[in-house]
Amino acid sequence: MKFLLVEDDPLVAKSIRRDWPTPSDHIDVITTFAQCARIIASEQIDEYDALIVDMNLPDGNAVQVLSQLRLRSELPAIIISGSGSPEVRASTLDIGADDYVMKPFSMRELQARVSRAVIRMRGQETTDRIFDFGNFQYFPKTKSLKTPNGHLALTNMEGRLMFQLVTSTGKVCSRRQLSETVCFRPFRSDDKTIDIYIGRLRTAFSKFMDEEVIETVRGAGYRFLLKPVV
């Protein structure tokens, strides 16, 4: 996943990037509201899976960021702050924040809250959507894959895995992320469940395609290579 961190304290920003628990995730850092506003107003905002925004910025605050963001996007936004009364936290959530994390926080806690917001957002996407890849179509509602030879019914696990891959087309999905969102359990390095189901999906595609559809990114995870037809 790819995140935009809006944080003017270089030590905090460095710590978040250095200690982030998922190495395959990418974090871009900017330091001002003005920089953030420019990104929100451009197509660049669509590159990110979530925003992490410090409440107090040199030229503004997270409330202003949220006000601009919600005019343009439903992208998850997590606010981090060293202070804030219950009333301030509640009002920030009311205007569009997905979570409010108080400093100091453990990096694992922040990562878990950000990931949960992303998963919740993806879960709100309509399951009636059809993902069209030309010779293939994926139907999340019925967990079925249309191939040149007809419909292939997927198991619940295969369906959840397929959904995570196709909604992240071109981006790396870490084994940790897939373990938590597909298997609903904490990641263990010796757990090969995801690898087994990746193999099953690859087999399904290999019957109709010679080129690779699911790429293994060594040390990071998996990337779905087919691009949806717009």
The residue to which tokens 């263990």 are assigned: 188
Omega of the bond leading into 104 within 30 degrees of 0 (cis): yes
Looking at the structure, tell me whether residues 20 and 55 fall in a common domain: yes
Q: 26-48 pLDDT, tens per residue? A: 999 999 999 999 999 998 888 89
Q: Which of 83, 107, 124 is the last residue of a domain?
A: 124
The residue among 93, 108, 124 that closes a domain is: 124
Residue 18 shares a structural domain with residue 111: yes
CATH number assigned to the domain comprising residue 208: 1.10.10.10
Which of 43-47, 61-65, 149-153 has the highest mean predicted lDDT (pLDDT)? 61-65
Count of domains for the chain:
2
Strands (E), the chain: 2-6, 26-30, 50-54, 56-57, 60-61, 77-81, 99-102, 131-132, 137-139, 144-147, 150-153, 172-174, 214-217, 221-224
Residue 74 shares a structural domain with residue 179: no
Domain that holds residue 27: 2-124
- Do 38 and 113 fall within a single domain? yes
Residue 103's pLDDT is what?
Answer: 87
**CATH code where residue 85 lies:** 3.40.50.2300
Does 157 score more than 90 pLDDT? no
Residue-level pLDDT at 78: 94
Q: Please give the biggest Cα pair distance in the chain.
A: 59
| DSSP symbols for 83-118 | ---HHHHHHHHHTT-SEEEESS--HHHHHHHHHHHH
Does the pLDDT value for residue 206 go beyond 80? yes
Tell me what pLDDT residue 128 has: 63
Rounded to an integer, what distance in angstroms lies between the CA atom of residue 36 and that of residue 18?
22
| Better-predicted residue by pLDDT, 2 or 141 | 2
**Residues 22 and 100 reside in one and the same domain:** yes
For 105-139, the pLDDT digits (tens) are: 889 889 988 988 887 776 655 556 788 988 899 98
d(CA 67, CA 5): 17
Assess whether 73 and 164 both reside in one domain.
Answer: no
Tell me, yes or no, whether 116 and 160 share the same domain.
no
117 lies in the same domain as 205: no
In the listed set 86, 101, 124, which residue is the last one of a domain according to the structure? 124
What tokens appear for 204 in the block? 């399904």
